[in-house]
Amino acid sequence: MNKNQVKGHAKEAKGKAKEVAGKVTGNKSTEYKGKAEKQGGKAEAEYGDIKSGIKKSNK
């Protein structure tokens, strides 16, 4: 795993935790921020996957 994949998965987990916390407390703002952070993490992880795939194909 490259650093983008690791950072992305960490952001996904953090976002999921915020989303759940928002649902439990009834705080829609926190829930939506968590969803946004989770999506940002997914995007970064995808970028890392693509970057890793390019490196492997160039070998």
What single DSSP character describes residue 56? H
Map out the domains of the chain as residue ranges.
Answer: 3-57
* pLDDT of the residue at 6: 94
What whole-number distance in Å separates Cα of residue 45 and Cα of residue 22? Answer: 24
Distance, in Å, from the CA atom of 29 to the CA atom of 42, rounded to the nearest integer, reads 20
Q: Note the pLDDT of residue 59.
A: 73
Calculate the dihedral angle through the C-alpha atoms of 29, 33, 35, 41, rounding to the nearest 10 degrees.
-170
Would you write out the chain's pLDDT as a tens digit for each of its 59 residues? 889 999 999 999 999 999 999 999 999 999 999 999 999 999 999 999 999 888 888 87
* pLDDT confidence of residue 55: 83
Distance CA 59, CA 41 (A): 28
Contact predicate 49/1, CB 8 Å: no
